[in-house]
C-alpha cells in the first residue's frame, strides 16, 4: 500500500448530510470519508471525498497563501494493497481580511478534498468489501482557534451493482463546480507587461485571484486582487523572468468553474 501524506484546506450541507447542530458536539468540525459513485472493479478509477462539515462562523484554511492558520493534513493509513493515489484536488476558497490587514483564504460551512485513485488489479482475493481509512488533522478558527484530529473510514462493497449513499452523491454533486479546471478551458487569455499579469475575459463579471504558496508577492496587498473589468491586472513586486503567478482565478457571479493558473512572463 502506498501511504499518502498531503497538506490540505476548505464551503452548506448540514441538512443533506445530516450534519445538524448536534453533529458538532465534539467540536466545530465534523469530518467524514466518502466514496464516489461508480463501479468497484479491478483497475477502475475512483475518488475519495474527504469531507468537512463546519459549524456556523468557523472556518478551515486553504493550502495557498495565508497570514494565519494552517491547512489540514491527511494520511492514508489503510487501503487495499496495490491501490495508487494521485494528487488531492482542492476547491477554490474565499478570502477574509481580519483587523490588522490579516489576509486568509478559507472555507465556511462545507468543503471536500477529492483524492483520485486507481483500484488494484486484481483485487485482493476473497474480499467483498474494500476499506479506506484516513487520519485527519486540522486547525479551525472563529474568534479563537482549535486543533482537531480524527480517523475516518469508508467501506465499499465490491461489484458494479451497489447502492450509492445519498450523502456521497449529494456532496460530490454540490461541490463539483468549485474545483479549478485548466486555464485553457476557461476562455481567459493571459499576457504580461513587465511584472504585471493581465487576464482578459470579455465575458467576465468579477475576477478574483487567489495566490498559491508558490506565487510571487504582489505589489499591493493581495486581498486587493479583484477586478470587475474585462482586463484584470495583477502587479507583482518582482519584474522579469523571476515572476510567477500561481494559484486560482475565480469568476464571481458566473456559473463557470475556477481556473488553475501557473504563468510566467
Segment 50-65, tens digit of pLDDT = 999 999 999 999 999 9
Residue 16 belongs to what domain range? Answer: 5-178
pLDDT over threshold 60, residue 129: yes
Q: In which band, very low, low, confident or very high, does the pLDDT at 1 lie, cut at 50, 70 and 90? A: very low
- Rounded distance, CA 51 to CA 113, Å? 7
Of the candidates 178, 203, 226, which is a domain's last residue? Answer: 178
Q: Give the residue carrying C-alpha cell 487520519.
A: 135
The CATH code of the domain that includes 239 is 2.60.40
Of the candidates 148, 178, 208, which is a domain's last residue? Answer: 178
Instruction: State how many domains the chain has.
Output: 2
Q: Please tell me the pTM assigned to this model.
A: 0.86
Tell me, yes or no, whether 103 and 60 share the same domain: yes
pLDDT over threshold 80, residue 68: yes
Tell me, yes or no, whether 174 and 215 share the same domain: no
DSSP, collapsed to helix, strand or coil, labels residue 137 as: strand
Tell me, yes or no, whether 166 and 250 share the same domain: no
Q: How far is residue 84 from each of residues 119, 213, 233, measured CA to CA in Å?
A: 7, 26, 40
Q: Helices in 121-200 by DSSP H: which ranges?
A: 166-174
Tell me, yes or no, whether 74 and 169 share the same domain: yes
Tell me, yes or no, whether 78 and 137 share the same domain: yes
The CATH code of the domain that includes 74 is 2.60.40.1250
Tell me, yes or no, whether 163 and 229 share the same domain: no
- Rounded distance, CA 111 to CA 171, Å? 9
The DSSP string of 230-264 is SEEEEEBSS-GGG--EEEEEEEETSSS--EEEEE-
Chain segment 150-195, per-residue pLDDT in tens: 999 999 988 865 555 677 788 999 999 999 999 999 888 899 988 8
Q: How far is residue 112 from each of residues 38, 109, 127, 142, 251, measured CA to CA in Å?
A: 18, 11, 28, 20, 20
- Rounded distance, CA 198 to CA 219, Å? 14
Of the candidates 178, 196, 222, which is a domain's last residue? Answer: 178
Q: What percent of the chain has pLDDT over 90?
A: 56
At 144 the pLDDT is 93
Selected residue with higher pLDDT from 137 and 23:
137
pLDDT over threshold 50, residue 13: no
Cβ-contact 95, 210 below 8 angstroms: yes
Tell me, yes or no, whether 237 and 167 share the same domain: no
Tell me, yes or no, whether 159 and 205 share the same domain: no
Chain segment 133-146, per-residue pLDDT in tens: 999 999 999 989 99
Amino acid at each position: 500500500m502506498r501511504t499518502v501524506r498531503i497538506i490540505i484546506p476548505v464551503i452548506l450541507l448540514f441538512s443533506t448530510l445530516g450534519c445538524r447542530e448536534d453533529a458538532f458536539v465534539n467540536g466545530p468540525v465534523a469530518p467524514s470519508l466518502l466514496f464516489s459513485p461508480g463501479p468497484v472493479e479491478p483497475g477502475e478509477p475512483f475518488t475519495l471525498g474527504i469531507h468537512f462539515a463546519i459549524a456556523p462562523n468557523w472556518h478551515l484554511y486553504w493550502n495557498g497563501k495565508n497570514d494565519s492558520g494552517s491547512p489540514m493534513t491527511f494520511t492514508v493509513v489503510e487501503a487495499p494493497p496495490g491501490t495508487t493515489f494521485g494528487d488531492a484536488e482542492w476547491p477554490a476558497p474565499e478570502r477574509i481580511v481580519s483587523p490588522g490587514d490579516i489576509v486568509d483564504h478559507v472555507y465556511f460551512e462545507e468543503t471536500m478534498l477529492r483524492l483520485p485513485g486507481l483500484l488494484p488489479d486484481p483485487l485482493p482475493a476473497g474480499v467483498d468489501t474494500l476499506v479506506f481509512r484516513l487520519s485527519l488533522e486540522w486547525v479551525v478558527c472563529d474568534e479563537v482557534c482549535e486543533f482537531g484530529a480524527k480517523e475516518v473510514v469508508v467501506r465499499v462493497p465490491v461489484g458494479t451493482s451497489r447502492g450509492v449513499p445519498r450523502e456521497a452523491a449529494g456532496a460530490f454533486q454540490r461541490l463539483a463546480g468549485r474545483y479549478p479546471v485548466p486555464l485553457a478551458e476557461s476562455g481567459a487569455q493571459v499576457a504580461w507587461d513587465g511584472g504585471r499579469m493581465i487576464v482578459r475575459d470579455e465575458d467576465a463579471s468579477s475576477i478574483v485571484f487567489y495566490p498559491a504558496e508558490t506565487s510571487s508577492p504582489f505589489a499591493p496587498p493581495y486581498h486587493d486582487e479583484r477586478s470587475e473589468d474585462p482586463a484584470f491586472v495583477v502587479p507583482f513586486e518582482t519584474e522579469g523572468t523571476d515572476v510567477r503567478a500561481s494559484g486560482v482565478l475565480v469568476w464571481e457571479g458566473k456559473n463557470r468553474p475556477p481556473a488553475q493558473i501557473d504563468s510566467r512572463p
